[in-house]
Structure 1
Amino acid sequence: MEQQKLPNSTLILVLGILSIPMCCCYGVVGLILGITAIVLANKAAKIYAENPEEYTGYQNVKTGKILGIIGIILGVLYMIFIIVMISLVGWETLQDQELLQERLQDMIEV
């Protein structure tokens, strides 16, 4: 019997890879991509567990799941960083580069 490719194995890998750089979009995009990669990876792992000899591409699923977890962690950390920065200096300050530099200099001098 010919082996077939595991459903969504390439998609899971791509979503896992994209979740890492996209965590810099305020953490939200990386979080969404990482969660999607993990959910799809869990479904693919169940399919593979039922008949492992029928499918190939399980390595992509495992790698995509790991990268999705990393993307989620980075996304959450970046979201926490943004929340802390907003609480310390304010949203308007984050929008103005010169004002942000002044506030950071004030915080360093104190």
Structure 2
Amino acid sequence: MEKQTLPNSTLILVFGILSIVGCCCYGLLGLIFAIVALVLAKKATALYTENPELYEGYNNVKTGKILAIIGLILSAIYLIFVIITFATVGMDGYQQMIEEMAREYQGGA
């Protein structure tokens, strides 16, 4: 019998990668992609453990799950950092910090 590819195995891998990239968007996109990838990975893992001889592509699922966990952690850390920054200095203070960093970057180049 011919092996079938696990459903969503490539999508899990792509969402795992996007969760790491998305952590730079205030952590929100990374969290969304990571959670979706982990839910899909759980379903694919359950399907694979029932009949491992019928499916291939489990390596994509495992890799995507690991990347999603890393993306989830990075996104959560960055989101906590943003919340703490806004809570302590506010939006005006945050904009001033960005402007100062931009001036230092332009002056140093």
> TM-score, length-normalised on structure 1?
0.86
Greater mean alpha carbon deviation, residues 87-96 or residues 33-42: 87-96
- Identity level (%): 61
CA deviation after TM superposition for structure 1 residue 95, in Å: 2.5
Q: Write the deviation string for residues 47-83 of structure 1: whole angstroms up to 9, x where unpaired.
A: 1011100100000000101110111100100011111
Q: Secondary structure at the match of 2:80?
A: helix
> Which amino acid counterpart does residue 33 of structure 2 have in structure 1?
L
For this pair of structures, how many residues does the alignment match? 100
CA distance in 1 between counterparts of 2:43 and 2:6 reads: 10
1: distance between equivalents of 2:77 and 2:21?
13
For 1:72, the equivalent position in structure 2 comes to: 72
1:58 aligns with 2:53: no
Which letter does structure 2 place at the counterpart of 1:70? I
Q: State whether structure 2 residue 79 is matched by structure 1 residue 86.
A: no
C-alpha distance in structure 2 between counterparts of 1:47 and 1:91, whole Å: 47
Q: What secondary structure does 2:53 align onto?
A: helix
SS of residue matched to 2:26: coil
Gaps of 5+ in 2: 102-109
Alignment of 1:91-102 (within 5 A): 91-96=91-96, 97-98=98-99
1:24 Cα deviation from its structure 2 partner: 1.0
**TM-score normalized by the length of structure 2:** 0.86
CA distance in 2, matches of 1:37, 1:23: 14
The alignment yields a C-alpha RMSD, in angstroms, of 1.2
Unpaired runs of 5+ residues, structure 1, are 102-110
